[in-house]
Amino acid sequence: MAAPAPGAAEPALDRPLPEGVRHRVVTVAADAFGGFTFPELPVSLRPYARFTPTRRVKYAANALAAALESDAAFRQKVGAKLRETQPELTAALDAGTPPPAADPLDVAAAAYLLRPAGWAKLVTTAGEEAERADAERADEETLREVARLRAEVETLHDQARAEAGRARAELEGVRKESDALHRKLRAALSDVKRAEAAQRKLQGELDDTRAGAAAERAAADIEARRLRARLAEAESAVEAGRRAAREGRSVEDVRLRLLLDTVLDAASGLRRELALPPRDTIGVRPADTVDAVAPGSFSARDIATRALSETDPALLDQLLALPQAHLVVDGYNVTKTGYPSLPLEKQRLRLLGGLAALAAQSGAEVTCVFDGADLDMPVLLAPPRGVRVLFSKSGQTADELIRRLVRAEPPGRQIVVVSADREVADGVAKAGARPVASALLLKRLARV
């Protein structure tokens, strides 16, 4: 059968190309794609020139179908490639006698590409045959699936009947067990009532025991705190001894040195106070034995007039002017007396700033003690120059730390303790220190 003459109007399909035929046409075109040069390809298909046939079918199917439908020259080139690969099928189509044994989709795809006389009918017929074959295959699969489901339903019915029989037998057994359990339950309830009565009796005894144990525990806690305090003091003493041993001298050597420096400074101050001349420049002269008042000397009345009030800030200056004086400050006691509305951090900074200036003016050793027993975390604080800052350990108060600091000093050294706590003042006074009220320090710091 001859192809249509050039220029003649080609017949067209009266319906869309069947999906199976369309897929077969695109596959044939994708296989023939690689036999064309780049200029021979339509512009819309050139981006797919380097693709494999499989990727062309996957990504360029729509572009290939559109080019075959709209570009007759490209379709004829594809048809020529098809004649080379399937000469028997194309020859039969040209003769108008398609092979009966050929795949209807192959026949329809070849007819669409070659466009022999009556190709539209061939394409439509092949599409219908393919749809009928698909429908027959679907019906066969449906029948097989229905038969399989019926067999499964029958099997499930048999299993359900067997399960029902087993369930009835188990139910009968459960009923018998339930009757036995009911009898046991009634006996258990009776036992429970007796046990509850015994429990109430034991609960009363337990409450009495707990009350006694709580009292004993409270007494044990008090004793434990006392022992922990003594243990902390012992540990501090051991640590101080170790630290002194590491530094090459004992604690007693340090205490003796401080006492010696105190005595020497006191003697030097007394010499200056009495305006004593050097020892090698004077002797005992008769005139010196005459009872009289020399110019510039002090009488007992003069000394009495120099005594200061306990509320005079100058008293603190006199105490700190003594040789080797050590000022110990109960930090929070002072800050809560002077500026309780400030946060604790600002209270500490304000007090330490004033103590630093006081230490620089007086030259005395200054130690400020804060209560650290209730702190949740360490305090990030850089102590100012000339001021030693200490926090009490967990389980220990600042008052206990102050008493330990006083006991650590050698007898005879001037220790000044600033606190408004009467218990602290009495305790340090017994240890040889000089207690001073917090208000006195606040007045003195107000002058700094």
CATH code of the domain in which 375 resides: 3.40.50
Question: Model-level pTM greater than 0.75?
Answer: no
- Establish if 87 belongs to a structural domain: yes
From the list 412, 367, 415, 432, the residue with the least C-alpha distance to 260 is 412
- Establish if 367 belongs to a structural domain: yes
Q: To the nearest 10°, the Cα dihedral for 10, 12, 18, 22?
A: 30
Q: What is the pLDDT of residues 112-155, one digit of tens each?
A: 777 777 677 777 777 777 777 767 777 778 888 888 888 888 88
- Establish if 266 belongs to a structural domain: no
- Establish if 24 belongs to a structural domain: yes
pLDDT tens digit at each of 448 positions of the chain: 444 444 344 555 656 777 777 787 778 777 777 777 778 778 777 787 788 878 877 777 777 777 777 777 788 787 778 787 777 777 777 777 777 767 777 777 777 777 777 677 777 777 777 777 767 777 778 888 888 888 888 889 889 889 998 898 999 889 999 889 999 999 999 999 999 999 999 999 999 888 988 999 899 889 888 888 888 888 877 887 677 666 655 666 666 777 777 777 777 766 666 655 555 454 544 544 444 434 444 343 343 335 577 788 888 888 988 888 999 999 999 999 999 999 988 999 999 999 999 999 988 999 999 988 666 666 777 888 989 999 988 888 889 999 999 998 888 889 999 998 899 999 999 988 999 999 999 999 988 6
Q: Number of structural domains, the chain?
A: 2
Distance CA(272)–CA(263), nearest Å, equals 14
- Establish if 8 belongs to a structural domain: no
With a CB cutoff of 8 Å and minimum separation 6, the contacts of 269 are 322, 323
- Establish if 197 belongs to a structural domain: no
End residue of a domain, out of 97, 117, 137 = 117
- Which two structure tokens, joined as six digits, stand for 360? 């620089």
- Establish if 190 belongs to a structural domain: no
End residue of a domain, out of 64, 97, 117 = 117
Distance CA(193)–CA(111), nearest Å, equals 98
Distance CA(44)–CA(369), nearest Å, equals 91
End residue of a domain, out of 117, 142, 157 = 117
- Establish if 98 belongs to a structural domain: yes
Q: Is 40 helix (H, G, I), strand (E, B) or coil?
A: coil
Rg (CA), the chain: 58
Helix ranges (H only) for 9-71 are 19-33, 53-59, 61-70
Residue 296 backbone phi and psi in degrees, to 5? 85, -5
Residue 391 backbone phi and psi in degrees, to 5? -115, 140
User: b or e along 46-73 (b: 16 or more beta carbons within 10 Å of the residue's beta carbon)?
Assistant: eebeebeeeebbeebbebbbebbeebee
Q: Containing domain of residue 397, as a range?
A: 308-446
